[in-house]
Amino acid sequence: MAVAGETPLLNKRYKLLRPIGQGGMAVVYKAQDLSLGRIVAVKVLRENLTGDAEFLARFQQEARAAANLAHPNIVTVHDFGRDGGRYYIVMEHIEGKDLKAFIKEHGPFTVDQAVDLAVQICAGVGYAHRAGLVHCDIKPQNMLVTADGRIKITDFGIARALASIRPGEVTDVVWGSPQYYSPEQAAGEHPTPASDVYSIGIVLFEMLAGRLPFVASSQQQLAMMHLREDPPRLTLFNPNIPDTLELIVHKVLAKEPAARYRTADQLGRILISYRQEGDGRTGPLSAATPPAGVPAARVAPVAPTLPALTRPAAPQPEAHQPEPAPAEEGLDWVALVLGFTAFLAVAGLIPLWVWVYQVWVP
């Protein structure tokens, strides 16, 4: 599908070839960078959002921040610019489908495949959290799966710019996607890293169950379900889910942010620990056969620290220690000499007592 009319150029450098995606905030084009001769993806902000100067300033600020996120699980941002009334972000072009398409075609995934992909998601989002960015719009549509099975997360700049218009205030506008946003986002509160963790939990639930935990006919109903209803048990849809993994997902989907893992890095370490423990299974989980059509996941390295869910080591029996032999009993000569000396001292006072009695007693 070609771009309508004459092929547009942005700043005489980026030749827009065809649209490859769109949403409420922007249209994404496959484009050619004429200066460097490479294919890129260009996200052009919709014109109805360009009239707010404060939004544009934050959009530019966050685009610059996202450009500094150099991580194998994050789509690289190359450039940000303006051409007349059009504002755009230039990113690396990824050949592949988004994760939502894979879930629709091949879900539910095996436990091994879902955990491996979730670890990659946590690696990318956790890196952004350490850089001071909250994604605010975590969903499988914003995650591209490459031919070799790597997750690439996109859409950091716009989502963060929208969420940051009035930090700390409750508004009537809810930013994010109703199927995936957190209870605090549903209430109009400012998102935090724990909000991203909740959304990752929704994605993990969807990969394991082949469906979303909350389904409703309207955004308002979805918001109320996120705020008030507990998610259904994963084993209702996939009886092969181990108990430990179900407990992890249940904690991630807690209503209160303080009850969840605080950052994506923390959740990633929990999942790595679970994968290492294997829940009684043997062999590396990444070697498991994925669903048909889903490439084997390539897991970005994350430090495998062992958090609270690690099984405690079995107590080792104490080695038998022989009881110490009783000390030999003998005379305590020091005590004997001191006692005899005290006796002589007291006995030597007897004549003095007799003299005092004779003198003073009539």
Task: Write the CATH number for 116.
Answer: 1.10.510.10
Percent of the chain topping pLDDT 90: 54
Q: Do 72 and 139 have their domain in common?
A: no
Geometric angle at alpha carbon 70, from 65 and 72, rounded to 5°: 135
Q: Are 119 and 299 in contact (CB under 8 A)?
A: yes
Does 137 participate in catalysis according to the annotation?
yes
Helix (H) or strand (E) holding 100: helix 99-106
Q: Is residue 349 part of a domain?
A: no
**Of 40, 73, 92, which residue is a domain's last?**
92
Q: Do 210 and 86 have their domain in common?
A: no
Q: Do 119 and 148 have their domain in common?
A: yes
**How far apart, in whole angstroms, are the C-alpha atoms of residue 167 and residue 330?**
82
Q: Is 296 exposed, middle or buried (0-12, 13-18, 19+ CB in 10 A)?
A: middle
Q: Give the number of residues written for the chain.
A: 362
Helix (H, G, I), strand (E, B) or coil at 30: strand
Q: Do 136 and 248 have their domain in common?
A: yes
Q: Is residue 306 part of a domain?
A: no
Q: Do 268 and 221 have their domain in common?
A: yes
Q: Is residue 129 part of a domain?
A: yes
Q: Do 88 and 100 have their domain in common?
A: no
**Of 73, 92, 111, which residue is a domain's last?**
92
Where is pLDDT greater, at 16 or 359? 16
Q: Do 261 and 169 have their domain in common?
A: yes
Q: Is residue 330 part of a domain?
A: no
Least confident of 78-87, 94-103, 153-162, 280-289: 280-289
Percent of the chain topping pLDDT 70: 69
- Total structural domains in the chain? 2
Geometric angle at alpha carbon 271, from 267 and 276, rounded to 5°: 145
Q: Tell me, what's the pLDDT at 36?
A: 96
Q: Is residue 267 part of a domain?
A: yes
Q: Do 150 and 269 have their domain in common?
A: yes
Domain that holds residue 172: 96-287
**Of 261, 287, 313, which residue is a domain's last?**
287
Residue with tokens 């996941």: 297
Q: Are 292 and 106 in contact (CB under 8 A)?
A: yes
The answer on pLDDT for 63 being more than 70 is yes
Q: Tell me, what's the pLDDT at 304?
A: 32
**How far apart, in whole angstroms, are the C-alpha atoms of residue 203 and residue 279?**
21
Q: Tell me, what's the pLDDT at 221?
A: 94
Q: Is residue 108 part of a domain?
A: yes
Q: Do 166 and 41 have their domain in common?
A: no
- DSSP assignment, residue 74? B
Q: Do 85 and 106 have their domain in common?
A: no
Q: Tell me, what's the pLDDT at 50?
A: 85
Among 98, 137, 155, 265, the one annotated catalytic? 137
Task: Kindly state the tokens that stand for 68.
Answer: 């500094």
The residues facing 83 across adjacent strands are 86
Q: Do 230 and 111 have their domain in common?
A: yes
Q: Tell me, what's the pLDDT at 96?
A: 86
pLDDT band at 132 (very low <50, low <70, confident <90, very high): confident
Q: Is residue 302 part of a domain?
A: no
Q: Do 72 and 137 have their domain in common?
A: no
What tens digit of pLDDT does each residue of 105-130 get?
Answer: 999 999 999 999 999 999 999 999 99
Q: Tell me, what's the pLDDT at 301?
A: 38
Q: Is residue 335 part of a domain?
A: no
Q: Domain with 79 in it: what CATH number? A: 3.30.200.20
Mean pLDDT for the stretch of residues 316-336 = 46
Task: Kindly state the tokens that stand for 145.
Answer: 């799966």
Q: Tell me, what's the pLDDT at 308?
A: 33
First to last CA, the chain: 138
Stated pTM of the model: 0.73
